[in-house]
Each structure stands twice: as structure tokens, then as C-alpha cells.
Structure 1
Amino acid sequence: MEISPKDKFVTVYGRKPVLEALDDPRLEVDKVLLAEGARGPAAKEILDAAGRRGVRVQRATAQRVKVLAGNGRHDQGVLADVVAPRMRPLELALRDRPRGVLLLDGITTPANVGMILRTATAAGMDGIVVPRRGVASIDPLVVKSSAGVAFRAPVLRCATAGEAAAQLRAAGYPLFALDAGARESVYSFSLPSHAAFVLGSETSGISDEVRPHVTGWLAIPMAAGVESLNVASAAAVLCFEVVRRRGCPRESNLRTP
């Protein structure tokens, strides 16, 4: 299948994030897009940094930069496409039969998405589904919250969380969701060899388009009257418990294309 550029790159925008990407030798920058009217010391600094790395710079209208950045206030007339080597479409990733997949559903706070990417990657989850709609996009705020891990996280892309849930179920994956009132615990439920776990919105929980695909509900036991955890904290508990129970090395099961 043909892979969209949106499923290969993390786009960062703004002068400082673009310069940070260009100055990081661990990152491969595909190209820089600079607004036609961008001149002066800031533009020169970006051009010089791109030149040192051998990164091509394309000029475009300021409006084009805004559209591609997806942010009309903070792009500052420049963006960069950074290669994300482990990012790929969910449909393609499922051919490798990843053992553990995390699905983000309606999580719109960039800080939470960034922390989840960092935690799930550190735990060794095989894939984190970040839909293109309904979830905070992987932008400089998410990258910063992930402490840069977003560039190398095993991000799996699809249009919506509902579409992802349907694909996972069609591929034979049970889909577990967290619920404080669930009778089964994340510490004791029967863990299948392959499974997907959905994390819902910070305010409304699991969406109506995903809920019909959920096959099991799990709770994180709480003490001292605490009712719930922040979604990023809940993700940490879940991810590390899953890999602990499997007793496997914290390395991804997905091959890098």
C-alpha cells in the first residue's frame, strides 16, 4: 500500500522547534518549508542550519505554511518534516501481528498525548494508535511533552479511533478499555497473547464510535478514596503491567520498514 507523507513524518513548526530539529544529529529532517516573505536574521539562521545538514529548503506562501502546519498562530512562517522511522499506517502494522497496541480515543490535551507516547514507548508497547482526527496532533507541544520520544515512538496512523477499533477487531484483537467501575482488574485479568487497549477522553471517556468494539473493561484499583488517575498516569500503569506480565524484553515487536 502507498504510505501518505502524513504517516511518515512528524511536522514541527515555529523557529525554535525547527532549529532544534536541525541541530539534533539524531534526527533526519526531510525538508524545511519557509514562507516567501521570511527574511532577516531568523530566516538566515534557519537557512544556515539547513545548509549545514544538507536539508533542502522550499519556499511557499505564508498561507501554505499555515495550512501545512495546521496552526495559524504559532508557525512563524516555517516548518520542518522530521522523519519518524517507526511511524506507519495501522493497516500495514497489523500485518506484523503486534502483541500489544494502545489506541488513543478523543485525547485532545497535547501534554497527555506526549506523556503517553513517552510512557508506552519506554514500556515496550508495539504500537500506539494516534488517529489523525479527534486526538491532539503530533506537534511541537506533543513533542516537547514526550521529551522528544514522539519522533521515534511506534506511532500507528488511521483516520479515526472508530476506524482503528474496527480494524483491530477485524484482525482478531480483543479491545480492552479502562473503567473505574469494572469488575476485572488490570492486575488479574486474563491477558491474551495479542490485545489492544483503548484510552478514552479526559472528560467523556470512550467515544460512542469505539464503545461497540470494546470486548472487556478493566479497572485500576485505587486506595484512600481516589476515584481516578490522569489518562497519562493510567496509561503508565497499564503499559508497564502488560509488559511485566508478559515477562518479555521491553523491545517493540514491530519491524521498522
Structure 2
Amino acid sequence: MHEANTAVSPKDRFLTVYGRKPVLEALDDPELRVDKVILADTARGQAAEDIRRAARSAGVPVHRASAHRVKVLAGNGKQDQGVLADVVAPRMRPLGAALRTTPLPGRVLVLDGITTPANVGMILRTATAAGLGGIVVPRRGVAALDPLVVKASAGVAFRAPVLRCGTAAEAADLLTEAGYQLFGLSASRGEPLFDAAVPELAAFVLGGETGGLSAEVAEQMTGWVSIPMPGAVESLNVAAAAAVLCFDLVRRGLPPERARGKGRPSR
């Protein structure tokens, strides 16, 4: 059973940033809402005072925790510098919840096995710029939504329409049940992207940097599309391929939810 628990996990509401500079930047950004800051009880000195002062100015509570607890919450024991912040991501929600809304998110991307943070961040930025209805970022098998992803997205990750679920296979199941047709993006198989008919409810699955789509997900595809490459290049970087795909969808016309004025990020 997928997403049987209707409670929304904090991981589906916040992006966690860690390290002194990223936390200060989040607190100083008037367009971001920080839910809380967690400061290690070993953090002392001017850096800790700067963070406390910025949090007070922004009206954000600061909680103390053990250094070990901060490392566990950050998921990065080498770079957390004893501080993290949970930043509200207003357009991030569980995939199951998005599929219970009207209208449905329209055309979406699904990430399957993309483990390089820079690629995930660039895909979030591109898909958001192109007005796609959502980017499915599974909690497992894909790079965590951490400061490296935020940096690669140039901050757009905070406002991207991220849809969360457990795995890419789970996403494929949920999308199929909701009436989506699933298309795998391939370097060598399937119909050329620019000639393919794209239904209103379409999910494009992007595979990992080296292995492509996982076998469990590949078998659920409705069809495959490829990017024509007349030059002597075997394949594109996954983020570059995502950019071609996203802006071909723009060329075809705005996704339905944006055309009806429903794609503007909440503030």
C-alpha cells in the first residue's frame, strides 16, 4: 500500500540546510520562511551568536541539541558545522496528495536513480522555469535534497513543485493508477521526442547517470522517447536532456495548470 498514512512527514514540508553560511543566508532571505534552527550545544563563539541574532530578527525559534543529533538530522557529519535550519518549501508535497487534487499536476518529471546533487538541482531549476506540474523526487535512490542540490538549483529548489514518495517504482504505480502515461527518456530507443504525441497527463522518467532507468521502473513505461542527436555524441548529461525535454513541452504549449493560472508558487 502506498502512502497509506495521511500525515505529512517533515521531509515533505521542509528542505533542511546545514552549515553556518547556508543557514545565515536562509535566515536573511525575506522571501524564505524558516521553521526552526537547531544549534548544537557545542556551538559557541561569534558564529553561533550571529545565527542566534539572525534567528531572533527573523522570528525563528532556535533549539539546542547534541552535536550528534545535529549530525543525524543533517545527514552529513562532516559539513553541518553544528547548525541546521528547516526551510519551508511551499510547493513541496507528497505525490499521493497531489494526485488527489483537481486539476491534476499535468505533465511531470520522475527522477529514478539520479544520485549526483548537481544534476538534481539543475533539473529542479529547469523544470520549475518551464512551468511543469511537478518533479517527483523519491526519498530513496535519488540524491537527498540538501544544500548541494539547493546550490545547484540557484535557490529555486525552495520553490520548486517537488512531489515526494518512497521510490521511483512507487511513483510509477501511483501515476499509472491516476491515469498518467509514463514515458522513459532514452538515448537510443523510442520515438523522437519532437515527433511524439504527448497526452495531457504524461510523466517523463529520467534515469540515473550511468545505469538509466531501473528495471522495475522500466517495465512500467507506456512508451519511450529519445532526443535526436545527429552529431557524433552518444548521449547527453541527464540534466541537459531534462532541459531539452522541458522546453520542448513549453514549445508545445503551457502545461494545463499554468494555462489556467494555477501554477504560480504560493507565498
Structures share fold, TM-score greater than 0.5: yes
Instruction: Please say if 1:205 is aligned against 2:212.
Output: yes
Tell me the TM-score normalized by structure 2. Answer: 0.93
CA apart distance, 1:246: 2.8
User: 1:34 pairs with 39, 53, 56, which one?
Assistant: 39
CA apart distance, 1:209: 2.0
Give the distance between the partners of 1:23 and 1:30, measured in 2 at CA: 13
Q: Is the 8 A contact 2:13 2:88 kept in 1?
A: yes
C-alpha RMSD of the superposition: 1.6
**Per-residue CA distance 1:20-70 (angstroms, 9 max, x = gap):** 101111100000000011111110010011011110000001111111111
1:221 corresponding residue in structure 2:
228
Superposed structure 1 runs of 4+ greater than 4 Å apart: 247-250, 252-257
Identity %: 68
Q: Is the 8 A contact 2:107 2:255 kept in 1?
A: no
User: 1:55 pairs with 60, 66, 74, which one?
Assistant: 60
Gap change, CA 1:95 and 1:255, over 3 Å in 2:
farther
Gap change, CA 1:127 and 1:204, over 3 Å in 2:
same
CA apart distance, 1:183: 3.7
1:232 corresponding residue in structure 2:
239
CA apart distance, 1:212: 1.5
Q: How does 1:146-185 map to 2 (within 5 A)?
A: 146-185=153-192
Q: Is the 8 A contact 2:115 2:142 kept in 1?
A: yes
Tell me the TM-score normalized by structure 1. Answer: 0.96
Give the distance between the partners of 1:180 and 1:168, measured in 2 at CA: 23
Q: Is the 8 A contact 2:111 2:138 kept in 1?
A: yes
Aligned partner letter, 1:143: V
Q: Which runs of 5+ in 1 are unaligned?
A: none
Instruction: Please say if 1:88 is aligned against 2:98.
Output: no
1:43 corresponding residue in structure 2:
48
SS at structure 2 position matched to 1:218: strand
Give the distance between the partners of 1:164 and 1:131, measured in 2 at CA: 8
Give the distance between the partners of 2:251 and 2:46, measured in 1 at CA: 51
